[in-house]
Every structure is written in C-alpha cells, then in structure tokens.
Amino acid sequence: MARPNRVKAFLTSLTGRMMLGMLAIHALLMPLLFGGVMFFIREGYQTQFIQQVRSNSQLLAALFAEEMTQKSPEELLANTLLGGQVIFTQIVTPAGQTVNPKNAANFDLGEFKEDFFFGQHGDTVYYISVSLQDKEGNIKGVLRLGYDEEPTQEQIQIAYRRGLYLALTYSLLSLVLVTFSGWQVTRSLRRLRDAAHQVVAGEITKQLDVPTNISEVTSLGQDLEHMRWKLVHQGELLEHQALHDSLTGLPNRTLLHDRMQHAFVTAQRLGKTVALLMMDLDRFKEVNDTLGHHVGDLLLQQIALRMRGALRESDTIARLGGDEFAVVLPSVENPEQAVYTARKILTTLEQPLNLDGHSFTIGASIGIAFFPEHGEDNDTLMRHADLSMYYAKRTQSGYSVYNPTLDQQGLNEITLIGELRHAIQHNELVLHYQPKIDLETGRVTGVEALVRWQHPRQGLLLPEHFLHLAERTGLIHPLTSWVLNEALRTCQNWHQADIKLPVAVNLSPASLQHDQLFEQINHALQNLNIPPSWLELEITEAAILADPQLTQAVLGRLSDLGVQISIDDYGTASFASLAYLNKLPMQQIKIDKSFVIEMSDEINAVIVRSAINLAHNMKRTVSAEGVEHAEVLEKLKDMGCDMAQGNYLCKPLAANELIGWLQQSYRDLTDKSSPLAQN
C-alpha cells in the first residue's frame, strides 16, 4: 500500500508533474519532429538519386551516340550493366526494333515503364529513356535505362533508424534533465512548503529564510515572510481585542478573570488578600439617553482615564460592559486599604467632567469583596461584590463591603422582583389616596395616589420596599401604567358620585424619559373619557435636572393637552434648577417633607419660606407635604403656603375609606376644634 502512495505522491508533486508534462510534450512533438526530419531526409535522398540518374543517363546517351560507330550496341549495353548501378539497358531503333545487351536474359526485369518519381510503379527500378543523337543531331534511337533503387532505400532506412535512436536518446536525456532541474527548482519550493506548514501550525514567531537564486521563488518567499509578519501583528491585535474593551482600552471580562486567577494563586502562596471592587455609575443612562451615545462613550473614556490615575500600576481595572467596571487589588494589607481605594475612586469621579460643552458630575456605587474571605473562585467573589455594589446603590452610601446577610437580601430581592411582576400582571397592587388641603378654606382640593402592594406573605408593602426594584429592572413602566389607569378609573367613579376631585400621580425619572409616555397618558384619558384637567402629574426636581430639554418638551405636550403639572420634592436637588423651573409649564411646587417636618430648625424654616416666596413670585401655587404636627401647620399658614398634606391632616386611605373621611371633613369645617377649621 505504501508503494502506490509514494507513486501517487510523486505523480502529484511538482517534479512528477514536470516529468509527466515533458513526456506529454515529447509524445506530441517528437513524432511530428521525427516525421518532418525523416520526410526531408527521404526527399533529399530521392531527389539526389533522380538528379544523379538523369545526369548519368545523359552522359551514357552521349557516349553511346559517339561509340556506336565503333562498337556494337549489344556490347555497349553489356558494358553499361557491368557498373552495377544500371540493371537494365535497352536501345529502341528508329524502326521500332529493340536491342538488348548480351546475356539479356540475366536482367529480364519485365516491361519497361518510364518513371518520373522515385518508386513510382511499385518496383525497385527507376526507368528512364534518353534520345541517342549524333553530332549532326540525327536521332539514332532511344536509350532505355533502369537504375537500382534499393541502395537508396537502404540509405533512407539507415537514416530512419539513426533518427529514431537520436530521438530516443534525446527523450531520455530530456527526462533526466527535467528530473534534475525539477528537483532543483522544487527544493526551494519544498522549503517554502515547510515554512508554510510552520505558519499553519502556529509557529509564526520565527523569521522565514529560504535561500535560492530563483527570482520567482525569492519573491514568493518574501511574500510569505510578509504574510507571516502580518499574521504576527494581526494575532497580537486580535489577542488585544479579545482581552480588552474596544472603547476604553481597559481589560475586558475575560482578561479580568485571568488576572483574578493569577492574583489568587499569588495571594495563596504569599498569604495575602485580594480585593475585588465592582463599580456601577450613577445617572449614566440619563446622560446616554439625553445627549446620545457619542457623549456617553466620551464620558466612559474620561472615567477610564481618571480611574487609571487613581490606581497603582499593579492594580487591574476592567470594563465589564455598559457603565459597569471592576477593579482587582492583587495585594492588600487590610480591608481599610480597599476602602481607601474605593473612596479615592469616588472622590475622583466627583470632579466635574466637561464634554461637548456640557458639564457632568457622575457618581458611582462600589461593592467590595475579599479573597479568600468572601469567595475562593471568580464567580463567587464577583457575585458577592455585585451584591455589595447594589446595596451601596440602594442605600446611596457610595461603597459597601460584603457581608453574608447580603446573600439573603439578594435572594429576597430576586424573589421579590418575580413576585412584583406577577403582582402587576394580576392586579395585586392597591392605591391609597392622601388629600391635599387648601390652607385658606380648609377644603380638599385634590388627592395624591400612592401605590401599595398587598403582598400575600409580607402584608401591605410601601413603595420604598419595591419601587427601587421596579426602576432597576424596568418594571417601573408597567407599574406606572397600572397606577395611572387605576387612579383615573377611581377618579371617574368619584366624579360619577359627584365627588369632584382631581387625582395626582407621581412619575419617576425613568417613566418621564419613556418615549411612549405622552401616548400612554393620552390613550388612558380617552379610553376612560376623562377631561385632562382631572389628572395632575407630580415630577421630582431630580427628574427634571436629569434631562431638562426632554422634560420641557414632554411636559409641554402634556400641559397643552390640559394635564396639570406639579414639581415634587422641591429643594432636594441643586438650586441650579431655578432657571429650568421658570421655563416649565407647571402650576404647583411641592416642598419636600424633609424640610417641612424639621421646620423647628431655623435653616429649614428659611428654606421653606424662600420656596413659598419663590413660587408666588413665579405665579405658582405652593403645597407642603409631611405635615405631622399642628405647629407645622400653623407656621405654613403664617408663611402663606397655599396647600398642605400629611398624616396630621389625613393619612393615605383606601378609596372607599377616603369617601367616609371626605364626608367627615366637610362636617369638620364647622367644628372650630378641627385643624381644618383653624384658620
């Protein structure tokens, strides 16, 4: 089996193909060449023979005409035959008689047939006739001669054999030369083949060197070396791209895992601790959605540069995707060192960023976990650092170190998210309503819808237990839709019962930026056939500052529709919002309860008074939330506040409970001891 394989390999090789090609060429050309040469040799011999025959015949005819007077024709003819070349002689007299040589019977070759071509009549004799003329030009007869063609035929055959031997010798010599030259040529090509095999096998670091004096092979070798060089650099580039984030140039998740594993091995050998910091940016989505992905990308690049500057050379910072980063501190002496690094990163990010004419202050939340205390493998340590990061984001503490209780909290949150989705879909949520009281007349001017979750195991849950989960998972949009429709249905039922109260619904920043918000509200109003003025939307000041231009556009459309707009939690954000507030189509400003509850503090009292004066100067009404005591209510009246709400006046109630309270509140208007009547 090996022999046929070697033969096949040889026949498919360049040397074998060259030999087969040469043989094929010779098989086609050699017969043509040999036949052509033989044709010219044969024609040469035959032409020479005929010319010699004709020349000799003329000489003999002249000799016969001269000597016939001295010798008999028979003797002359016999003497001619003695030369050996002429094998037939005969004279035809003018009278038609034939004269043959002596002993003519020995040369009887049959009937005379004159030839014009060599071998014309298929015999071996060339017949020719020549006139016998004397010097006076008298015809004495015709001399007939026959020349032997066989010696010439033998010469032609000898030339054939010699030509055939020469052709075979040439073919063999050509085959040997082709084999040798093919081996010489393919030796360089074989070296190139071996070099190409090395490249295919991944051995691309060694420079290719194929010595040869064949220019084409040299050029091919140079091209292969250039290709190897490009593969080396392309491989380095692909390796870098596979292990680094294309936007920031930071290591990606794959390289992070590798660095973590290496840090774990080193830490175990040296008895050290490895710290992992998981970081998520705050308010990045708002920047991305408002100013576009281009500015968002520039922002991530600037943050990457700042974080590099805040870390050591031995530390690894990686971008895991979106606005999520991870930092590996390969050797820390104590937990405080990791906490110090987290604080340093947060302080670095607090500095304003200027991009495309915009100034940003981007915060972050950082979770910290330690190897081997909090996990001995990548996945466990990252999961625990993630839990810490989400806890820091939820508590707005900036950073948080992992502790085992977060595992149960994380599991509870995952379970709660699934249950919240089910609750929205199966109408397990309820709305409570808190009245807004006109401080001048004591009458109820509207109600605020506040969502509650009637949990099957945990009972009635307030928004602070699940609202942050809805915002983090995107459930805030179906939750807002449910609240909006339920509040409008309740408002419709009240109006049909002659209770003319508008209802206020809170919008989160995420809901305000939802591209279908206007259509969703308009559809709900039309579906229930409710006038837009019955609906009031409360927008937080922080939501306005997240994207002022978008907020102004969306609220402008809603205001044109007839919906009432209020600014909620006023005072909790930067006073830089004043310039935006005056441009917004709002009717009311609500002072945050954190200032109202602590009005005993002089600074808070000044803030509340300033907010009331500011709102009145802008021709807006003012509402204070968080009224818990009679003293606070009296101060608000003295400051000229228009409306108030709080547990002192009425805690949030279910829809049916609110009707009873409303009936009682109208009776209390005539009761001088009621807070509603104390003007």
pLDDT tens-place string over residues 550-591 = 778 888 899 999 999 998 877 665 444 455 667 788 889 998
Range picked from 138-152, 348-362, 613-627 for highest mean pLDDT: 613-627
Confidence of residue 3 (pLDDT cuts 50, 70, 90): low
The CATH number linked to 529 is: 3.20.20.450
Domain encompassing residue 35: 14-157
The answer to whether residues 276 and 327 touch, using CB atoms and an 8 Å cutoff, is yes
Three-state secondary structure call for residue 325: strand
In-domain check, residue 41: yes
500 and 599 co-located in one domain: yes
Phi/psi at 393 (5° precision): -65, -40
The answer to whether residues 665 and 671 touch, using CB atoms and an 8 Å cutoff, is no
Three-state secondary structure call for residue 416: helix
In-domain check, residue 505: yes
DSSP code of residue 394: H
Task: Give every CB contact of residue 540 below 8 A, 6+ residues apart in sequence.
Answer: 506, 508, 509, 567, 568, 569, 572, 573
Distances (CA, A) of 166 to 22, 159, 163: 17, 10, 5
521 and 645 co-located in one domain: yes
261 and 216 co-located in one domain: no
In-domain check, residue 165: no
507 and 633 co-located in one domain: yes
Cα–Cα dist 637/533, whole Å: 27
The residue among 548 and 344 whose pLDDT is bigger is 344
DSSP letters, 221-274, are HHHHHHHHHHHHHHHHHHHHHHHB-TTT--B-HHHHHHHHHHHHHHHHHHT-EE
398 and 543 co-located in one domain: no
Q: 194, 212, 238: which is the final residue of a domain?
A: 238
Task: Give every CB contact of residue 198 below 8 A, 6+ residues apart in sequence.
Answer: 204, 206
Q: 135, 157, 179: which is the final residue of a domain?
A: 157
> What pLDDT shows up at residue 562?
93
In-domain check, residue 536: yes
Phi/psi at 410 (5° precision): -65, -45
Cα–Cα dist 279/389, whole Å: 7
Q: Among 127-131, 392-396, 464-468, 618-622, where is mean pLDDT lowest? A: 392-396
In-domain check, residue 209: yes
> What pLDDT shows up at residue 638?
93
Nearest one of 677, 587, 596, 594 to 636, comparing CA atoms: 596
When divided into structural domains, the chain yields a total of 4
Question: Is a pLDDT exceeding 60 seen at residue 104?
Answer: no
> What pLDDT shows up at residue 678?
44
Indicate the average pLDDT of the chain.
82
271 and 138 co-located in one domain: no
Cα–Cα dist 509/513, whole Å: 6
Nearest one of 169, 124, 183, 173 to 149, comparing CA atoms: 124
The answer to whether residues 52 and 147 touch, using CB atoms and an 8 Å cutoff, is no
In-domain check, residue 437: no
Task: Give every CB contact of residue 475 below 8 A, 6+ residues apart in sequence.
Answer: 417, 420, 421, 424, 469
Question: Is a pLDDT exceeding 80 seen at residue 13?
Answer: no
pLDDT tens-place string over residues 445-504 = 999 999 999 888 888 889 888 888 888 778 888 999 999 999 999 999 999 888 889 999
Question: Is a pLDDT exceeding 60 seen at residue 679?
Answer: no
383 and 499 co-located in one domain: no
Question: Is a pLDDT exceeding 60 seen at residue 675?
Answer: no
Query: 290: which 2 tokens?
Result: 């408002």
Cα–Cα dist 479/462, whole Å: 14
365 and 490 co-located in one domain: no
Residue written as token pair 């910290």: 368
The residue among 389 and 80 whose pLDDT is bigger is 389
Q: 403, 419, 454: which is the final residue of a domain?
A: 403
> What pLDDT shows up at residue 653?
93
The residue among 575 and 177 whose pLDDT is bigger is 177
Q: Which helix (H) or strand (E) holds 24?
A: helix 14-67
Three-state secondary structure call for residue 527: helix
Residue written as token pair 């604080």: 343
Strand 588-591 versus strand 564-570 pairing type:
parallel
SS in 3 state form for 109-134?
Answer: CCCCCCCCCCCCCCCCEEEEEEEEEC
Helices (H), 547-654: 548-561, 578-581, 593-597, 602-617, 630-639
pLDDT tens-place string over residues 207-262 = 665 666 666 666 676 677 677 767 666 666 676 677 888 888 899 998 899 999 99
The residue among 643 and 191 whose pLDDT is bigger is 643
Query: In the beta sheet, which residues pair with residue 450?
Result: 432
Cβ atoms within 10 A of the Cβ of 585, count?
14
303 and 394 co-located in one domain: yes
DSSP code of residue 82: T
Residue 372 preceded by cis peptide, ω within 30:
yes
> What pLDDT shows up at residue 109?
59
Question: Is a pLDDT exceeding 80 seen at residue 391?
Answer: yes
pLDDT tens-place string over residues 616-654 = 988 899 999 999 999 999 999 999 999 999 999 999 999
pLDDT tens-place string over residues 265-312 = 998 888 889 999 999 988 777 677 667 778 888 888 888 898 888 888
The residue among 664 and 317 whose pLDDT is bigger is 317
316 and 261 co-located in one domain: yes
Confidence of residue 91 (pLDDT cuts 50, 70, 90): confident
52 and 133 co-located in one domain: yes
218 and 131 co-located in one domain: no
> What pLDDT shows up at residue 407?
63
Question: Is a pLDDT exceeding 90 seen at residue 100?
Answer: no
Three-state secondary structure call for residue 339: helix
Nearest one of 305, 316, 204, 164 to 247, comparing CA atoms: 305
In-domain check, residue 325: yes
In-domain check, residue 192: no
Three-state secondary structure call for residue 647: coil
Question: Is a pLDDT exceeding 70 seen at residue 178?
Answer: yes
The CATH number linked to 262 is: 3.30.70.270
Residue 84: half-sphere exposure toward Cβ, Cα within 13 Å: 2
Cα–Cα dist 577/668, whole Å: 39
